[in-house]
């Protein structure tokens, strides 16, 4: 019986530690600001290369709205999507910089 009580108390202690640490890991405004700044820089660089993807700006706007509503987890996720698009658009611009037009356009 004592062993069962010790196991229950041990499980309870571990569970409460995990629950409390989970709430301490919630995203903050500072986390969002950092993620947004990185995303905006990636999207702006892609735009400077004349290869900004269609939805990147829209995603950044939705991220700002989510942050304004206090949903920082969603806002950071959206900022990460926009950063991915910005980074991938840059890679695409570099890869296709000298691709030219297909030959059938000149016949």
CB–CB of 72/37 below 8 Å? no
14 in a structural domain:
no
* pTM (2 d.p.): 0.71
43 in a structural domain:
yes
103 in a structural domain:
no
93 in a structural domain:
yes
72 in a structural domain:
yes
37 in a structural domain:
yes
102 in a structural domain:
no
Number of domains in the chain: 1
63 in a structural domain:
yes
| DSSP calls for 31-95 | HHHHHHHHHHHHHHHHHHTT---TTHHHHHHHHHHHHHTT-HHHHHHHHHHHHHHHHHHHHHHHH
**pLDDT at 39 (0 to 100):** 98
Share of the chain above pLDDT 70, in %: 78
pLDDT tens sequence across 45-96: 999 999 999 999 999 999 999 999 999 999 999 999 999 999 999 999 999 9
Is residue 105 very low, low, confident or very high in pLDDT (cuts 50, 70, 90)?
Answer: confident
* CA-based max dimension of the chain: 90
Integer Cα distance of 15 and 8 in angstroms: 10
Q: Which domain holds residue 58?
A: 27-97
């Amino acid at each position: 019986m004592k062993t069962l009580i010790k196991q229950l108390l041990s499980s309870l202690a571990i569970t409460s530690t995990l629950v409390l640490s989970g709430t301490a890991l919630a995203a903050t405004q500072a986390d969002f600001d950092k993620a947004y700044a990185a995303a905006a820089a990636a999207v702006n660089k892609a735009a400077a290369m004349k290869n900004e993807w269609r939805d990147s700006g829209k995603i950044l706007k939705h991220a700002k709205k989510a942050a304004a509503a206090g949903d920082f987890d969603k806002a950071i996720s959206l900022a990460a999507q926009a950063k991915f698009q910005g980074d991938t658009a840059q890679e695409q611009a570099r890869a296709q910089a000298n691709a030219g037009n297909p030959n059938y356009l000149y016949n």
